Structure 1
Amino acid sequence: MTLYARLVPAAVRLRLRPHLQRALEVSGLIGVLHRRQERRLPQAPAPPFDDGLPMPPAELLVLVGASSDGRWFSEGGREHAAMFSSLAGKHGVDVGKAADVWDLGCGCGRIARWLAPEAIAGGGAFTGSDINRRLVDWTSAHLPGRYLLNGLKTPTSLAPKSKDLVYAYSVLTHLREKAVRAWLEEVHRVLRPGGLALLTFHDECYAGAWGPPGVVGRLEREPFIVLNDAMEGSNYLSSWTTAVHLEALAAPLFEVLEIVPGRRDNPTQAIAVLRARAE
């Protein structure tokens, strides 16, 4: 037991915890602690796993999913790739038939390892982008397609009206509302008129099954919530919004084709299926 724990009663420590966390966030020290934890996680042993494709090193797996488990990375990525491919096909974009695809927030290729070969084999093109240079460098060296570094702020270097499909898994979920609006504008800029965007977010269904205590109640009063409000764009910050509010954010630029609710049987986020309006 630490000296702090000996001197300060547990009930008092519980009340102080949010204030201490906020002080660390405001000071910037939370970033140091968060990165230290990321360096420790890969040291935990994970069973070996081989899916026949290049597997990122443990420290990169942790950066995208807080776990060094290769099986989780591979099988979860394959499931989400199939989900995106199916949704895109349902709404008129066949990934395997000359589609130009952008994976926004590609990480080290958790989904791209499955979708990039499908797009390229069908005569299309595949581009991934991410905010982390280490992830982009690894993916560029090991997976088909081209991979670019993007910043936290828009725009990207992608040409306007150049993509048929944009998907982003757990990207909006690490942004404040102002940044979400900016990235919706950037996705619209890059999509061809009528192109599709498949963007995941933490909705009230996901919050009810997988969210921290109190989030569902807050969403009944606040349409957009930010938890751990520091290090925007990293896994530390998480944002939560209602399906109705996400639809309102997207509606000026997109036709909202459907909102697929977050799943309760496994931690799969809600998906906004959007068609780009012509300007």
Structure 2
Amino acid sequence: MSWKTQLRRVLEATGLIGPYYRWREARLAAIVSDPVDDGLPMPPPALLTLVSGAAGQAWYSERGREDAAQFRALALEQGIDLTQPRTVLDWGVGCGRIARWLAADVTAAGGQFLGCDIHPKLVAWCAEALPGRYLRNGLRPPLPLARASLDLVYSHSVLTHLTEDTARAWLAELRRLLKPDGCAILTFHDETYAHAWGPPQVAERLASEAYVVWNNALEGSNYLSAWTRRAHFRALAEADFTVAAIIEGGADFPTQAIAVLRPRDPSPPAQRLV
């Protein structure tokens, strides 16, 4: 174990990892980034860093546009056309990296755009800068939304920061919120992504462990990262969903794996014996 890893473990054990991690984020936010004007509101450096670990505007803008286009296309393949009135949730909206490319279109089509996040500053910025309604959520469900109220829920790199038990709870909650013909599009760290982009120890552990948590502290933040094999994610999801597709993570470019999920029909009520 390297001295850096040893230091992190000491900070975790003493409860000092939170202040240290926030101090590190503040230093990263101070690094000057070339400005990008894409015609949409741009969050301040501190919020960019809170979400992505850096204050770079180019990545935020370009990858946000690309991910929004991919989610839109995947939803359309499942019959969820965002040019029609739809109710859409960005679960873990952050500072709107993807929402800023989708929210206006959803609302312009007569739909409702919702976003939620664990961090109040991110929720406040989105509510001020973007169309739609934005909510703060806890680490665990529920969300204050009605059962079967959503056509589409998507998330990018949210499950990647949750322990397995928390991830299971949220999958069940997303199933509760989706309409029977709705769709969930969720990214996660799979074994391909781990081997190409993750810490070497994670790839090694995935050979024998189905779900690996790296830096098990500050759950829900970028400090904790979660990794799972595609087959295990399928098994996790199938408790609540039918898996329409799982797209492998990128080996040549850092794109996370994507799961496209349709709500599983609820079990029929037990028949009463007469």
Correspondence 1:125-274 to 2 at 5 A:
125-274=112-261
1:215 Cα deviation after fit = 2.0
Contact (CA 8 Å) 2:172, 2:240: kept in 1 or not?
yes
State the match for 1:102 in structure 2: 89
Aligned-CA RMSD value: 1.1
1:27 has 2:27 as partner: no
1:88 has 2:78 as partner: no
C-alpha distance in structure 1 between counterparts of 2:2 and 2:246, whole Å = 38
**Greater mean alpha carbon deviation, residues 236-245 or residues 35-44:** 35-44
Post-superposition CA distance 1:136-171 (Å, at most 9, x none): 001100101111111111101111100000001000
Aligned partner (choices 10, 16, 29) of residue 42 of structure 1? 29
State the match for 2:270 in structure 1: none
Q: Secondary structure at the match of 1:214?
A: helix
C-alpha distance in structure 1 between counterparts of 2:235 and 2:69, whole Å = 27
In structure 2, the gaps of 5 or more residues are 267-274
State the match for 2:110 in structure 1: 123
C-alpha distance in structure 1 between counterparts of 2:161 and 2:12, whole Å = 15
Q: Secondary structure at the match of 1:68?
A: coil
Contact (CA 8 Å) 1:262, 1:268: kept in 2 or not?
yes
Q: Secondary structure at the match of 2:9?
A: helix
Contact (CA 8 Å) 2:202, 2:214: kept in 1 or not?
no
C-alpha distance in structure 1 between counterparts of 2:257 and 2:4, whole Å = 30
Q: Secondary structure at the match of 2:72?
A: helix
1:178 Cα deviation after fit = 0.3
Contact (CA 8 Å) 1:194, 1:277: kept in 2 or not?
no
C-alpha distance in structure 1 between counterparts of 2:8 and 2:130, whole Å = 39
C-alpha distance in structure 1 between counterparts of 2:93 and 2:17, whole Å = 25
Aligned partner (choices 256, 265, 271) of residue 278 of structure 1? 265
Deviation >3 Å, runs of 4+: 14-20
Structure 1 counterpart of 2:149, which letter?
S
Structure 1 counterpart of 2:41, which letter?
P
Q: Secondary structure at the match of 2:127?
A: helix
1:68 has 2:55 as partner: yes
1:17 Cα deviation after fit = 4.2
C-alpha distance in structure 2 between counterparts of 1:273 and 1:77, whole Å = 19
In structure 1, the gaps of 5 or more residues are 1-13
C-alpha distance in structure 1 between counterparts of 2:154 and 2:218, whole Å = 23
State the match for 2:269 in structure 1: none
Report the count of equivalent residues.
Answer: 266
Q: Secondary structure at the match of 1:103?
A: strand
1:24 Cα deviation after fit = 1.2
C-alpha distance in structure 1 between counterparts of 2:76 and 2:4, whole Å = 47
1:20 Cα deviation after fit = 3.2
C-alpha distance in structure 2 between counterparts of 1:15 and 1:39, whole Å = 24
